[in-house]
Amino acid sequence: MRTREVAWHRCGPPGGSGRVSEVRTPGWPDRRGFTLVELLVVLVVIGILAAIAVPQFTKVRERAYYATLQADIRNLAAQQELYYATNYSYTSTLSDLGFVTSQGVTVAVTASESGWSATAEHDGLGSDEGCAVYYGSATAPTIGGMSPAAEGQVACTT
């Protein structure tokens, strides 16, 4: 036998007769929990929201990876110019520049006395996706079929 929870209140003004009556919500049967249909509707709505949100999250994350690559390449360019001002040549050794890449970024540099080029890739992107740049007499690097159109231009595969 199930017990029923019933809200009780006093009838009449304060200090009244002290009679107690039962309060029920009209039109609502005495039930507990949710029906299977209600649960399925909630699951469908959650599924639709997830199907919309996941691709958007992936796009935002990919844009953040490319922004990190571009920032690292610009920092590398500044470090190369500082190195050139002191040594009158460029270097392909990142430790000579005091350059530290961002987390998950791999930078490959090729340098000579009169120019340098670099490619940058992120662990979160595909193997042929990233950014490239060149300065001076260096040959324009290619990454994922993309090459910078001009000296100093950062070209990315997106």
> Does residue 62 fall inside a structural domain?
yes
Within a domain: 20: no
How many domains does the chain contain in total?
Answer: 1
The residue ranking higher by pLDDT, 8 or 103, is 103
End-to-end CA distance of the chain: 67
3-state secondary structure of 39: helix
What's the domain range around 55?
36-156
Digit-coded pLDDT (tens) for 72-118? 999 999 999 999 999 999 999 999 999 999 999 999 999 998 999 99
Confidence band of 57 (pLDDT split at 50, 70, 90): confident
Name the amino acid, one letter, at 107.
V
1 or 23, which is more confident?
Answer: 23
At 58 the pLDDT is: 83
Q: What is the pTM of this model?
A: 0.68
In a domain, 76, yes or no: yes
